[in-house]
Amino acid sequence: MSFSDTGESPDKPRAVYLASDSRITWNTADRRWDSGRKVFAVTTAPHLFGFCGDVVLPSLILGQVSAAIEAGILIDPLATADEQHQAVLGAVRRCVATTVATPSLDFTIHHLTRSADWPNTEFRAWRIDYNVTERQCTSSPIAIPATTGLIESFGTGQDAARVHRTKWLVSDIGNRSRAILSAFQDAIISGDDPLSGGAPQLAALYTRGPPEQIGLVIGERRFLNGLEVEVSPMLNAVEWRDQLGQRVDPVTGLLRSGARRFVRPGRI
């Protein structure tokens, strides 16, 4: 969650981000795929989804849910945020109810939305937990911080992410959204959690419009939703950031004109 301490209405949130790694494993880190999509940004409505835990069911379900929202058949845009979330929850429950003797594991789906546009911006968050033994989906709201900060961390890599986040938080940058995002990328690159890896994935929900998929420039390589893409002028169709959260040109990797310049603290 990001607030701005400058400009109009500093008490209003400016953005909410969803970040993930791209590693999918089969029982052990030795059996893995490092290009799996885990972040789903709906292109027509302010809804962001991610998951952790089991891979097959949530990744396929979120593809279906996102497509149904984009087709205009799942969510009533005039409904409240809670009603829209209930529509998503119902779809997830109907999907898992059709499984028969599948080799599934527990999983958690993360749902972020915006219930009002600027200047009345309000973000909402929920978690949907599936218990494979009981074959039940439960949903619970997640509290949104009143200042810039982490909403919640999930998955096997949360301990490693917390260690790196602490390093950034005690630096002179402090509790800023770019510190949280940079720390997350540091945790993935470090390899501290063997079940986390691949390129980071990132999407943002701003004060208006649907969420934005954000590509990441990592050295000489470019990634979007875990997929490595070739450098070309077409990459300018989406927003790009580097490992410090700077807005960059995807072709040159250099800072965008007018973008804020960030530096890595000396102790990190």
Q: pLDDT (tens digit, 9 = 90+) per residue, 142-175? A: 999 998 999 999 999 999 999 999 998 888 887 7
Q: Which amino acid is at 202?
A: L
What's the pLDDT score for residue 112? Answer: 99
Phi/psi region, residue 258 (left: phi>0; alpha: psi -120 to 50; beta: rest), is left
Encode burial over 87-117: b for 16+ CB neighbours within 10 A, e otherwise. Answer: bbbebbbebbeeeeeeebeebbbbbbbbeee
pLDDT tens for residues 171-204? 888 778 888 999 999 999 999 999 999 999 999 9
Count of C-beta atoms within a 10 Å radius of residue 10: 11
pTM: 0.93
Q: What is the pLDDT of residue 40?
A: 99
Residue 12: predicted pLDDT: 87
> pLDDT of 71-106, one tens digit each?
999 999 999 999 999 999 999 999 999 999 887 899
pLDDT at 267 over 90: no
Which has the closest alpha carbon to 204: 232, 240, 231?
240
**Residues 150, 154, 157, CA angle at the centre, nearest 5°?**
100
User: How far from the centroid of its chain's Cα atoms is residue 29's Cα?
Assistant: 22
- Per-residue pLDDT, averaged over 20-46, amounts to 96
- Hey, what are 263's tokens? 């530096």
Give the rounded distance of the alpha carbon of 82 from its chain centre.
Answer: 20
C-alpha 39/C-alpha 212 separation (Å) is 11
Contacts of residue 254, Cβ cutoff 8 Å, sequence gap at least 6: 248
Question: Distance between CA 139 and CA 29 in Å, rounded?
Answer: 30
Burial class (CB in 10 A: 0-12, 13-18, 19+), 150: middle
- 119-140: average pLDDT: 96
What's domain 2-241's architecture? 4-Layer Sandwich (3.60)
Looking at residue 177, its pLDDT comes to 87
| Torsion angle of C-alpha atoms 177, 180, 181, 183, degrees rounded to 10 | 150
Could you tell me whether strands 239-241 and 227-229 are parallel, antiparallel, or unpaired per DSSP bridges?
unpaired
Say if residues 161 and 115 touch (Cβ distance below 8 Å).
no
**pLDDT at residue 7, as a whole number:** 66
252, 258 Cβ separation under 8 angstroms: no
